[in-house]
Amino acid sequence: MTIKIENVRQRIANGGSDLSADVVTNGQRETVTFSRYSTDMDMEACVASGEPFLVMLLMHAMKCGQDLEFDGPVDARLLHELRGTIQLVLRAKFPALRTIAIRAHSRPLIDAVDQSSHIATGFSGGIDSMQLLSRSLIRKDLPAELSVTMLMHHDVGSVVQREQAVVNRDHAQSWAERLGLAFAGASCDMGRYYEGFQFLESHTLRTVAACLSLAPLFRRYLFASGTDTAAAMRDISSRTIDSANLILLPLLSTATTDLRQFGGECTRIHKMLQVLDCESLLPGINLCARVNHDNAGKLNCGRCFKCFPLLLVAESLGKLNQLSPTFDLASFEKHKTRSYCNFFIHALGPRQSQINRQVAELLRHESKLQPSLANLLLKLIPGPASEQSYTTKTQQQLATA
């Protein structure tokens, strides 16, 4: 059995440009569309290619044990890796997936288009993308090849509610304007091809598909990964796809779009400290995990498992009030006891345990907790002790590095 990708085409629509293809499975034809947009770039520069659809459909085809077929040209290196190593990596994570054949032909080099000068990153307002901006735009300690000139917003299934996706997109766009960066994005309703996979198990391929749909608006895309490299190496065979980004992203790159991870050398707590050190970025933080919260119009609820640890760190540094424009600090204070309980509960997950343990260690070092409470907290949270210490000196080094 074969899943066929046919009739790839693009057209100007809704102020942007739609890239569509027909996906034919068992005789059933469905149209899949990437809606692409930019406030300041010429969308007619985008090319209609099959790569976004091949990448988007790969896990689905492997799950169904059906080959993929596309009758147009595909980047030669990407096609080679999709047929081989990328499938091996996915099967290492998801043993139930099956190896499939991919029938397509390589794009001749003569088809290569002029490269853009832009270095792009996905911007959500979370700590990972904020840390990249803090280094690229405030501290300016990155080489030009890693300095961001363009923000992107991808709606590929990270939020269930349409309204939240719009809020996040508007937030990304307003911050691109505020920072003087180019802005573009893509959205695609691809959930039907990821049934059986959680978002954290599949988001790399979803985001890469969206990135490739925008080629060649940027020549490099930096993934501000939520998993640091040390954790990724320990976690390489887990179902969380982040831990394979160091391997997958170079394999998914094309002649015109270089994909690479950023920030793997930093733990979450170090990212928090770097972001909290950049006052001008603080109003841009948008990391809340709760939707429809009664937060008096603030972007962040102040008490969910994402908001609460950051506010604990900000409080320990005496910077809580600087977060008042975007965090519901009244809710943070009101629900502190319950939030501490959630802090423990979420510490049971492998990823969150690392973050919460780092936060607890910082609080202990900053003497913000009673020693007995700090010790109890660290006993309750599983996982190895952090290799780093969080003294004031460490923060000073971070601030001046």
Binder of Zn ion out of 74, 205, 304, 377 (CB under 5 A): 304
Judged by CB, which is closer to Zn ion: 61, or 307? 307
Q: For residue 46, state whether it binds Zn ion (rule: CB under 5 A).
A: no
Q: For residue 57, state whether it binds Zn ion (rule: CB under 5 A).
A: no
Question: With CB under 5 A as the contact rule, which of the stretches 119-127, 144-152, 286-294, 393-401 interacts with Zn ion?
Answer: 286-294
What does 188-215 look like in DSSP terms, one character per residue? ---GGGGTTS-HHHHHHHHHHHHHHHTT
Contact present, 74 and 104 (Cβ < 8 Å): yes
- Kindly report the length of the chain: 401
Judged by CB, which is closer to Zn ion: 188, or 287? 287
Q: How far is the CB of 70 from Zn ion (least distance, A)?
A: 42
Q: For residue 133, state whether it binds Zn ion (rule: CB under 5 A).
A: no
- Measured between alpha carbons, how far is 265 from 257 in angstroms, rounded to an integer? 23
Instruction: Kindly identify the residues of this chain, within the stretch 154-213, that bind Zn ion according to CB under 5 A.
Output: none
Binder of Zn ion out of 58, 100, 210, 301 (CB under 5 A): 301
Question: With CB under 5 A as the contact rule, which of the stretches 14-22, 107-115, 116-124, 285-293 interacts with Zn ion?
Answer: 285-293
Q: For residue 130, state whether it binds Zn ion (rule: CB under 5 A).
A: no
- Measured between alpha carbons, how far is 62 from 55 in angstroms, rounded to an integer? 11
Question: With CB under 5 A as the contact rule, which of the stretches 281-289, 310-318, 357-365, 381-389 interacts with Zn ion?
Answer: 281-289
22-51 per-residue burial string, b: 16 or more CB within 10 A, e: under 16: ebbbeeeeeebbbbbbbeebebeebbebbb
Question: With CB under 5 A as the contact rule, which of the stretches 19-27, 247-255, 287-295, 341-349 interacts with Zn ion?
Answer: 287-295
Q: How far is the CB of 309 from Zn ion (least distance, A)?
A: 10
Binder of Zn ion out of 190, 307, 359, 374 (CB under 5 A): 307
Give SS3 for 9.
strand
Q: For residue 310, state whether it binds Zn ion (rule: CB under 5 A).
A: no
Q: How far is the CB of 331 from Zn ion (least distance, A)?
A: 9
- Measured between alpha carbons, how far is 39 from 206 in angstroms, rounded to an integer? 23
- Measured between alpha carbons, how far is 96 from 187 in angstroms, rounded to an integer? 29
Q: For residue 132, state whether it binds Zn ion (rule: CB under 5 A).
A: no
Considering only CA atoms, which of 371, 18, 39 is closest in space to residue 184? 39
Strand order through the sheet with 28-38: 102-106, 67-74, 2-13, 16-25, 28-38, 182-187, 150-155, 119-122, 220-224, 258-262
DSSP 123: -
Q: For residue 78, state whether it binds Zn ion (rule: CB under 5 A).
A: no
Contact present, 300 and 288 (Cβ < 8 Å): yes
Q: How far is the CB of 161 from Zn ion (least distance, A)?
A: 15
Q: How far is the CB of 306 from Zn ion (least distance, A)?
A: 5
Considering only CA atoms, which of 70, 55, 59 is closest in space to residue 207? 55
Q: How far is the CB of 332 from Zn ion (least distance, A)?
A: 9
Give SS3 for 10.
strand
Q: How far is the CB of 307 from Zn ion (least distance, A)?
A: 3
Binder of Zn ion out of 288, 313, 329, 359 (CB under 5 A): 288
Question: With CB under 5 A as the contact rule, which of the stretches 278-286, 295-303, 334-342, 357-365 interacts with Zn ion?
Answer: 295-303
Question: With CB under 5 A as the contact rule, which of the stretches 54-62, 146-154, 307-315, 375-383 interacts with Zn ion?
Answer: 307-315
Considering only CA atoms, which of 272, 209, 202, 270 is closest in space to residue 242? 202
Binding site for Zn ion (CB under 5 A): 288, 290, 300-301, 304, 307
